[in-house]
Amino acid sequence: MTPTPQTSQENHVTGATIWLTGLPSAGKTTIAYELAGRLRDEGHRVEILDGDEIREFLSAGLGFTREDRHTNVQRIGFVAELLASHGVKVLVPVIAPYEDSREAVRKRHAAEGTPYVEVHVATPVEVCSVRDVKGLYAKQAAGELTGLTGVDDPYDEPQNPDLRIESHTQTVQESAAQLYALLTERGLA
pLDDT digits (tens, 9 = 90+) for 28-37: 999 999 999 9
Under the banding of pLDDT at 50, 70 and 90, the label for residue 2 is: very low
Phi, psi dihedrals of residue 56, rounded to the nearest 5°: -75, -40
The 8-class DSSP code of residue 6 comes to: P
Percent of the chain at pLDDT above 70?
93
Rounded to whole angstroms, the Cα distance separating 25 from 156 reads 16
3-class secondary-structure state, position 44: coil
Under the banding of pLDDT at 50, 70 and 90, the label for residue 4 is: very low
R_g of the chain, CA atoms, integer Å: 17
For residue 5, pLDDT beyond 70: no
Cβ(14)–Cβ(87) under 8 Å? Answer: yes
Cα angle value 61/121/105 (rounded, 5°): 50
Over residues 6-19, mean pLDDT: 68
Cβ neighbours for 173, distance < 8 A, ≥ 6 positions apart: 34
Q: Which residues pair with 93 in a beta bridge?
A: 20
Under the banding of pLDDT at 50, 70 and 90, the label for residue 52 is: confident
For residue 6, pLDDT beyond 80: no
Over residues 2-12, mean pLDDT: 43
Rounded to whole angstroms, the Cα distance separating 14 from 186 reads 11
Over residues 170-184, mean pLDDT: 97
